[in-house]
Structure 1
């Protein structure tokens, strides 16, 4: 009889179903990564529990959120990335939403990222970029700026997605586009990813059996844009779900702009009930997760204004006390106010052997190996009580959530 760890590896490496078929709950595939992380864990009850779940099928769970799809290995916000996220058990998949020059909604992490996330610099559309490619030289690093709002929807759809990266030392546009981090891969990006409109993402994600968390990205152009106001933009995002017949209960619209969230609460209350305030207030020395008096608006004020979901980066939810990772004052205040908490983002740091980088900054002193990823996730799920985790490789989170019976 194989040992629990051997059974874990065997269970994780069985691949079921056609790669072209929709990823149904019975076809969830998580591959070898969860087994790798479990194998790196310190001995103890959590490791034993996760290893013992190897004999159980992995179920799709709303706790597992595909952050831009599955961009650890697939070009973000592409059909291929969304399909991979669903196949790995993500119950919710994200389309970051921006707009083209003809005010059509498309899936991109930022309005001005086409030069790092698509092949635009290798196409004639490079001539339309806000700033074309400039090679590295004495004046600084290589640069470009290509916006979705520089081109029409039809032109956008002619592009192909690539891994989000740029080589700032490049002398040519081709080399500039070839800058993928060593802990990611171009293996699945070689043929180019299929870029998508927001409405196409709704159709695909629905067909894959998952739910939706669109993020309204901050425009880099001045608003109103050709008569298109911020309110028009926020409303258009919701309208595309209504036009597709998607129930509000299946959608978690997000924004870093609190005014967008409040707009949905006031004008689309059914969708507003699940609107997510993405909390980036710790940037620039504003909010201090250890000092609730710096939270403005406070957690109770947010709740009083109708906000039900808050989503900070992982590091804001945890701190170290007596050598152990525990909930931060921020996390405790959010829970005390009755806010549901979603965290971001798992699998965006590469190896944790050097402290984990930005996403683990509040606990870096006690982070030194990849097995601690599941320790952190368990603390966030069990002690902080998060209801969802964004991940660049949803299989990792899906396995944990399924094992722990999280819906």
Structure 2
């Protein structure tokens, strides 16, 4: 194992660092600084020989994935005290991880283009989400599909923003554009103690194009000047494109043209249609969510993206596919009723309690005429499936559970989806969560004495949401990333995986799953 690892590190770091002595055993505490140094390195260079703007396949440098998968703490057993001899559960887990890492270490093209990997908002672990740079890095990381979250604008266009109303924390609107801040439905007011609320439908597409996308920031609602409003982004992320002066906020039309030109599949999501603010805005324009859904679908179809072939799951080389995503089951119903051949993926975040209707504050599901909202109840899934919706994508935690001997096994929901014989199961989002230095979430508890004293501190958060149904919680050290991918693809049967840094999924798919 060791000689393979050392040889692979030396080879894979060529071009990524000035020297190869970065290939070493990493200690917790130097992760953030190492990531920050990455910002000036050429493995994330955005220069491209193709006519700009464009995306490139098979052009990434695997050095960064080596940092995340090939160091000592990536194979720790978090339930054990430091220095404790591995128990049988730990031995099995380490053997499994090493088997997967060996396959990746010996792989010639870990970042080859693969439809298994989806760039969630591009690659926001290392670049501002939904920006050209984020999509470029996602493409170079092996992603076959790249995502745009389409949000409606004041002039009824669509822009790529993850939430309709997060412009204050994902762009430079508050800090650099006082004239636009004044147009926000809740502008930033120095010393008010209130955060700004700035929505895409407060602005025209032309106005939004003046903004620069930034890494998703925490905000200081008590700031006394605009320059103090943005606090910074989580330490497990890094802006690897810090030398770029401005990442322009892009339109949905630009995204479709970019992917079509560059040869990548599209998986856009129509955002926040169940949100009352969105519905109220559309009503003020004499429109509704179904009008917006039709516009969204027509643009995807007109751009030339195709549905999967009906005769089987295997895609046709040279054909670019388009998948429409929604958390709103009303839109899933609408699309499949009006455009039965187009591909629709229904997503949900919070399944209802056992025996209850779907409800997360947006309404209960009570049949096809029921209100919209985020809902993953079995009754609804079966209803949508009968309409022809055969692609479903819940979060990681909904598809996995802990089994005997600390193994990772399919959840009850995963078994339901397999029994329904759906065409595709996807999941989200790998690389979305990292270390937490303090309890984070409603169920968080103080760390055990063993974890507090271990080398994993401060990565001890027991409430890590994405991985909360499996042993080995979310940490920057990637404690369970490879076994989680192995369980999702081989046991659950997912077809593809969203990731904030799709190189990890691509390496697993190219070197293990499809090798």
Q: Is TM (by shorter chain) over 0.5?
A: yes
Matched residue SS, 2:470: helix
Deviations 1:151-202 (A, max 9, x none): 1111011111011113235333222223211222245256231211001001
8 Å contact from structure 1 (residues 351, 370) kept in 2: no
1-side partners of 2:350 and 2:44: how far apart? Answer: 43
2-side partners of 1:12 and 1:336: how far apart? Answer: 42
**Structure number having the greater helix percentage:** 1
1:25–1:13 CA distance, 2 compared to 1 (3 A): same
C-alpha displacement at 1:264, in angstroms?
1.2
The aligned counterpart of 1:26 is 58
1-side partners of 2:397 and 2:506: how far apart? Answer: 20
Following superposition of structure 1 onto structure 2, how do residues 55-94 of structure 1 map, counting pairs within 5 Å? 55=106, 56-58=108-110, 59-94=112-147
1-side partners of 2:493 and 2:131: how far apart? Answer: 31
The aligned counterpart of 1:348 is 432
Uncovered stretches (5+) of structure 1, i.e. residues with no partner? 289-293
The aligned counterpart of 2:304 is 245
Question: Is 2:216 aligned against 1:161?
Answer: no
The aligned counterpart of 1:268 is 339
8 Å contact from structure 1 (residues 61, 406) kept in 2: no
2-side partners of 1:51 and 1:68: how far apart? Answer: 30
Following superposition of structure 1 onto structure 2, how do residues 5-404 of structure 1 map, counting pairs within 5 Å? 5-15=5-15, 19-21=46-48, 22-39=54-71, 40-41=74-75, 43-55=94-106, 56-58=108-110, 59-121=112-174, 122-123=176-177, 124-135=179-190, 141-168=193-220, 169-189=222-242, 191-219=245-273, 220-221=277-278, 222=280, 223-249=282-308, 250-271=321-342, 274-282=343-351, 295-322=377-404, 323-339=406-422, 340-351=424-435, 353-354=459-460, 355=462, 357-364=464-471, 370-404=478-512
2-side partners of 1:192 and 1:89: how far apart? Answer: 25
The aligned counterpart of 1:291 is none
1-side partners of 2:304 and 2:11: how far apart? Answer: 38
C-alpha displacement at 1:343, in angstroms?
0.4
Uncovered stretches (5+) of structure 2, i.e. residues with no partner? 16-42, 49-53, 76-92, 309-320, 359-375, 437-458
1-side partners of 2:102 and 2:11: how far apart? Answer: 10
Greater Cα offset, 339-348 or 370-379: 370-379
C-alpha displacement at 1:276, in angstroms?
0.4
8 Å contact from structure 2 (residues 96, 483) kept in 1: no
8 Å contact from structure 1 (residues 86, 208) kept in 2: no
State the aligned residue count. Answer: 397
Structure number with larger C-alpha Rg: 2
2-side partners of 1:97 and 1:362: how far apart? Answer: 30
Greater Cα offset, 204-213 or 381-390: 204-213
1-side partners of 2:55 and 2:474: how far apart? Answer: 34
8 Å contact from structure 1 (residues 135, 143) kept in 2: no
